[in-house]
Structure 1
Amino acid sequence: MNTLSTRARAALLGALLAPVFGLAGCTDLTVDPYSAVTPENFYQTETEVIAALSPVYSQLRATLWAYHNLSQVSSDETIVPTRGGDWGDGGRWLDMHRHTWSPSLVDLNDAWTASFAGVARANSLLRDLEPLDVPNKAGIVAEVRGLRAFYYYTLLDLFGNVPLIGDEEGEYSVDPDDLPPTETRETVFNFVVSELQAVRTELPVAGAGNGGRFSQGAADAILANLFINAPVFTGTVTASGLQPGAPRYQDAIDAATRVINGPYALNQGLEAWYSQFGPNNQNNAEAVFVVQHLPQDGYGLNFAHRWGHYNSFAGGGWNGFATIADTYNAFSEDDPRRVIFLQGQAYNQDQCDPAGIRDRECTAEDAINNRAGQPLIFTVDYPNGVNGAATEANGVRINKFNVDPDRGPNGNHGNDYAYFRLGEMYLIRAEARLRSGDAGGALTDVNALRARVGAPTLTSIDLDGLLAERLFELTYEARRRQDLVRFGRFTDAWSFKDASQGYRVLFPIPQIQIDASDGLLQQNAGY
């Protein structure tokens, strides 16, 4: 038993468990609850049990801010320049992009608390269900454990060395006098793998066609990602950089192949490929594990608002996120997937489709102006945003998750977001095959993705080419940071990025969590 001070325990528990306590409707835990509703008398039917899953699933939306932004903006795919007086925010976005962040970066704590809130909600439901005999209990428990494993996957990815709250032996409660210490990254990796392997046979086969529920396909897709990243996720990060762990390439091939052979299908043709990211993508046959959204306040996806200019659509976007010239220029003109970018004259997206592949193509009548009344031209090159040097027009915009014409207020679009989809499974299998010496098999998998959008097929593939293919297929899908780390390229200098120290392949544990833990949480090396 540790000797955390009462204040420190309260602070750390507040960060990890506040969302669960909020579900109880009572902040003073010494007071008898007013309601007579208990787990024993509430969970009478499978419908009631499924309703209790909602808080665990709803927390997925919270990961699409800090976790997604840290994954994107720290890479060469995304930059948020300071545009005059907009998007300065104390330099946080440029620190994220240029790898000059400190443990006090607010986004780190946001990502930490969002994922641990998901863990806490899952643990709370598992604790309630443990003594009960409810319909389909094995399947529901498997589903919750799978979701919890995903939340730990995000923590493993960003921070590596984190506490494990709840374990594979069914101990789901948290004793404030016995909080667990920080575990090694390899220990967390092994826990997530073991959880997913333990529950997969109790899960439904399909996910996307099962109302977005966690499925065998979701478990296998996360496993495939874990295994391809095993040298990173089981390695040790010192002040001088990453010391890789052992590869798990055959395991990655096996897990990816199970998804590929499952009840999913590649979207054939450019329009089908592009539409899988659009506002009407709820029946997407390629989606394996999705975060569902509704075009209602508080329930939508705000990606289109992040890049959209103030005049891009009614109500206006936030005019922040863009991509750097090197990334935009990496897409050849004969790769149709280049339609995800907006460059040149900007158009009103409530009136036309700038990609030109569905709905009405844009004409001069649809062109829009900047706030000064001049034509709005999205440019490829721009200053890095220091001292507000970028203009409102600088930067190519990523229009992959495009505008919902039926969107709700405050940037709430109805596009579902697939954390894992079938296309990535082909790329994971291709990479594992290539690293295992099977270049022919890797080439077949890569060309399957290129052919389905009408891109020219390749005659050979190497690791540099494979990394490029992941960029072409997965831009703005929270993979680029992972990929650059795995390929040893994350600390390379790219346009507008300072030289990075090797230890920055892991983010630091948020300083506020270190302070609250009274020495229980150990900071990552180098910070």
Structure 2
Amino acid sequence: MNFGMVINMKTIKNLVRRVPIFLLIISLVSCVDLDPEPLSFFAPENTFMDKEGLDALLITSRKQIKWEWFGDAFNAGYCETPLVYEYAWSDLSVIGAPEVKEIHNLETQLTPNTNMALHLRYWDLAWNGIKYANTVISRVPKSSITNEEDKNQLLAEGYFHRAYWYYLLVHQWGDVPLILEEVAEPKLDFNTASRMNILQQMKSDMEFAVKWLPVNVKRGCVNRAAGEHLLAKIYLSTGDFQLAVEATTRCINDYGLHLMRERFGVNASNPNLDVFNDLFQEDNISATENKEAIFVVQERYGIEGNVAPKGSNRMRNFVPYWCNGAAVKTPDGKNGTTYDAGLYDGYELVEELGRGIAKIRPTNYGQYELWNHCGDDLRHNENNWYDISRLTYNRPASKGGSETYFGKPVERKFVSDTMRCYFSFPTVKVLIYKDDLNKGKTPTGGFTDQYVFRLAETYLMRAEANYWLGNIPAATADVNEIRKRAKAPELFTVSLDDILDERARELYIEEHRKVELTRIAFLKAQLGKDGYSLQNFSEKNWYYDRIMEKNNFFASQYFYSTNAFIMKPYHVLWPVPLTAITSNTQGRINQNIGYFGAEDNIPVE
């Protein structure tokens, strides 16, 4: 973010004059039914000063969250969402793509002036999200609204959006500026605030918000249960573990939610599928019968307000580059696979898997260790998980393939690039079958809704809070609720590792994995657990130690293409963009320790 960027009345008037852009902003369908209708338009003179105008700005705030899950960066030559970086530098995955466009060696490639990594999009997304939220928060008291309940509900959702983005910022970057008001004129004197002071402010805001957020809303909007869920995350961050138990318990018990244990939705009559598969069918995520969804974001084909021209690219990003025939050879030396949409024979595999490029590929922990002794876990059955041993040669002899091996299983020893082209993955989280845009073409993803908060995570947050409180039986009971639904063997007792393992199995591409690991690293340092301390957090922290334990690529400094996967302890926090520091000429935005510029830091409050 350029901290000089502001929303003021002149900007608003300019937006109004630029009709196409303005209509895009105020008619976003970020909160829709299964049969959505466009929102109404509002008169410019009322915009952001009456209830309708402020509601429109909250719609923009909801859209801002959609960019995490569906947004792409085609203009920059990329085609992934920012969320991939929550997995690329975690225990579960690494970047699979070549280092020409991506970062393998964080020590040399991830710097304050790095411009090639889309993790920096989180910086822009977060500050714009905070900007929109602060505009609502600042304008409600000045508005023409007289109904106090309406005012408080608007404030409550404004607080929700601001807290949502600050929760991510303080676990991606740590200490950052704390901005609590609309910035109505150019400002160049921002100063860094401490992560804990920011979290305490967000805690206070969200305690107000959960009293005023509406209980019942359309899917895609923010309800009170979502507020409780976010408040619990903040309580976990501040170490208020009993309050986290209470917030998660209210979320679980008080708002008509429950885990989906029985078949439901569009495929309920198909006996070959299961309830976990039902949860992720595109038409089921926002269905009213789905009582597990707390907060979802929605992208629908042909509906105004979408943020990406082709919907989600997760199929492209998380599926192996199986169709690279030059790397996937047959035993008789022919190119074995293809994504050519013009083929008839063999195209079924393209329709099933799409054209993956392995932007993200799993670690041994994510691909194998998590599933050891999992029994009949639904999350690892053929409905929901694609074991790469199922991959077959699909290039016909007429296109240079092998007549002998066509349709037979790919043999791993003839795959020259197993890093990108040969690994297993969770189909239920990655594949999108309702692809209205790419029918008959090469699928890369498609339009679907996406969980942001789901009740399964609420149970696992309560389990973690009880773990920190020393109430292991209660923590075990909550983990087992999730495992029972998945038909996995129940556990006798749980550790923190068990809870994190369960999050990985249940919440892949739903949770912010890097953020949650960093939050726990801060917690261990705050509590002085296991020899960790805030005083030397960038030199010794639990996040780095876990990556070295679970991520075989970073732990072994695995060499791929032309460089190695290297991480150091200070990479627990990302570098503040150099432009944000240098353009802030009248204040001081600190750099994180380990990156150049940190020598000029000043103490924060």
Relative to the length of structure 1, the TM-score reads 0.76
Aligned AA (1:288): I
Q: What are the residue-to-residue correspondences of 1:292-311 with 2, within 5 Å? A: 292-296=298-302, 298-299=307-308, 300-308=311-319, 311=339
1:278 aligns with 2:281: yes
* Map of 1:404 onto structure 2: 433
Q: What are the residue-to-residue correspondences of 1:169-248 with 2, within 5 Å? A: 171-177=181-187, 179-206=189-216, 210-230=218-238, 247-248=239-240
1:59 aligns with 2:64: yes
Partners in 1 of 2:414 and 2:497 — Cα distance?
Answer: 27
Q: Matched residue pairs, number? A: 458
Partners in 1 of 2:410 and 2:121 — Cα distance?
Answer: 31
Contact persistence 1:344–1:377 (CA under 8 A): no
* Map of 1:507 onto structure 2: 574
Partners in 1 of 2:387 and 2:407 — Cα distance?
Answer: 13
Partners in 1 of 2:466 and 2:553 — Cα distance?
Answer: 34
Partners in 2 of 1:60 and 1:454 — Cα distance?
Answer: 32
CA-to-aligned-CA distance 1:110-139 (integer Å, 9 cap, x gap)? 110011111112233444444222362321
* Map of 1:72 onto structure 2: 87
Partners in 2 of 1:512 and 1:177 — Cα distance?
Answer: 15
Partners in 2 of 1:276 and 1:267 — Cα distance?
Answer: 8
- Aligned-residue sequence identity (percent) comes to 23
* Map of 1:146 onto structure 2: 160
* Map of 1:238 onto structure 2: none
Aligned AA (1:523): Q
Partners in 2 of 1:442 and 1:329 — Cα distance?
Answer: 25
1:468 aligns with 2:496: no
Structure of greater Rg: 2
Q: What are the residue-to-residue correspondences of 1:76-475 with 2, within 5 Å? A: 76-82=91-97, 87-92=98-103, 94-95=104-105, 101-105=110-114, 106-134=117-145, 136-165=150-179, 167=180, 171-177=181-187, 179-206=189-216, 210-230=218-238, 247-261=239-253, 262-268=255-261, 271-280=274-283, 281-283=285-287, 284-296=290-302, 298-299=307-308, 300-308=311-319, 311=339, 312-313=350-351, 316-320=354-358, 321-330=360-369, 331-332=371-372, 333-334=374-375, 335-339=377-381, 340-345=384-389, 368-369=394-395, 373=401, 390=418, 393-399=421-427, 400-408=429-437, 411=444, 413-475=446-508
Partners in 1 of 2:574 and 2:378 — Cα distance?
Answer: 35
Let me know the Cα RMSD of the aligned residues: 3.6
Structure 1 pair 521–142 and aligned structure 2 pair: CA distance change class (3 A): same
Contact persistence 1:159–1:508 (CA under 8 A): yes
Q: Name which of structure 1's ranges 53-62 and 337-346 shifts more when overlaid on structure 2.
A: 337-346
* Map of 2:553 onto structure 1: 496
Structure 1 pair 377–57 and aligned structure 2 pair: CA distance change class (3 A): farther
CA-to-aligned-CA distance 1:365-390 (integer Å, 9 cap, x gap)? xx74599746696899999xxxx955
Contact persistence 1:381–1:395 (CA under 8 A): no
Partners in 1 of 2:512 and 2:236 — Cα distance?
Answer: 12
Partners in 1 of 2:228 and 2:410 — Cα distance?
Answer: 40
CA-to-aligned-CA distance 1:43-102 (integer Å, 9 cap, x gap)? 7985555334221111112223665222111012222323xxxx444442x246x99622
Kindly state the Cα deviation for residue 177 of structure 1 after the two structures are TM-superposed. 3.9
Aligned AA (2:113): S
Aligned AA (1:417): Q
Structure 1 pair 408–144 and aligned structure 2 pair: CA distance change class (3 A): farther
SS at match of 1:291: strand
Kindly state the Cα deviation for residue 188 of structure 1 after the two structures are TM-superposed. 1.4
Structure 1 pair 390–516 and aligned structure 2 pair: CA distance change class (3 A): farther
Kindly state the Cα deviation for residue 468 of structure 1 after the two structures are TM-superposed. 1.8
CA-to-aligned-CA distance 1:117-167 (integer Å, 9 cap, x gap)? 1111223344444422236232123212211221222212211211122x2
SS at match of 2:301: coil
Structure 1 pair 51–328 and aligned structure 2 pair: CA distance change class (3 A): same
Partners in 2 of 1:381 and 1:217 — Cα distance?
Answer: 50
Partners in 2 of 1:472 and 1:336 — Cα distance?
Answer: 10
Partners in 2 of 1:412 and 1:227 — Cα distance?
Answer: 35
Contact persistence 2:66–2:297 (CA under 8 A): yes
SS at match of 1:53: helix
Structure 1 pair 295–99 and aligned structure 2 pair: CA distance change class (3 A): farther
Kindly state the Cα deviation for residue 40 of structure 1 after the two structures are TM-superposed. 4.9
SS at match of 1:62: helix
Partners in 2 of 1:379 and 1:416 — Cα distance?
Answer: 36
SS at match of 2:113: coil
Contact persistence 1:160–1:188 (CA under 8 A): no
Partners in 2 of 1:379 and 1:99 — Cα distance?
Answer: 36
* Residue segments in structure 1 that go unaligned for 5+ positions in a row: 1-9, 29-36, 231-246, 348-363
Q: Name which of structure 1's ranges 55-64 and 314-323 shifts more when overlaid on structure 2.
A: 314-323
SS at match of 2:452: strand
CA-to-aligned-CA distance 1:213-235 (integer Å, 9 cap, x gap)? 112211111121222233xxxxx
* Map of 1:25 onto structure 2: 15
Q: What are the residue-to-residue correspondences of 1:508-523 with 2, within 5 Å? A: 508-518=575-585, 520-523=588-591
Kindly state the Cα deviation for residue 401 of structure 1 after the two structures are TM-superposed. 3.8
Partners in 2 of 1:476 and 1:464 — Cα distance?
Answer: 19
Structure 1 pair 45–317 and aligned structure 2 pair: CA distance change class (3 A): farther
Partners in 1 of 2:426 and 2:211 — Cα distance?
Answer: 38
Partners in 1 of 2:437 and 2:573 — Cα distance?
Answer: 36
Contact persistence 1:221–1:259 (CA under 8 A): yes
Aligned AA (1:328): Q
Aligned AA (2:315): A
Contact persistence 1:95–1:101 (CA under 8 A): yes
Partners in 2 of 1:417 and 1:99 — Cα distance?
Answer: 34
SS at match of 1:212: coil
Kindly state the Cα deviation for residue 196 of structure 1 after the two structures are TM-superposed. 1.0
SS at match of 1:514: helix
Partners in 1 of 2:356 and 2:11 — Cα distance?
Answer: 34
Partners in 1 of 2:46 and 2:355 — Cα distance?
Answer: 47
Contact persistence 2:137–2:155 (CA under 8 A): yes
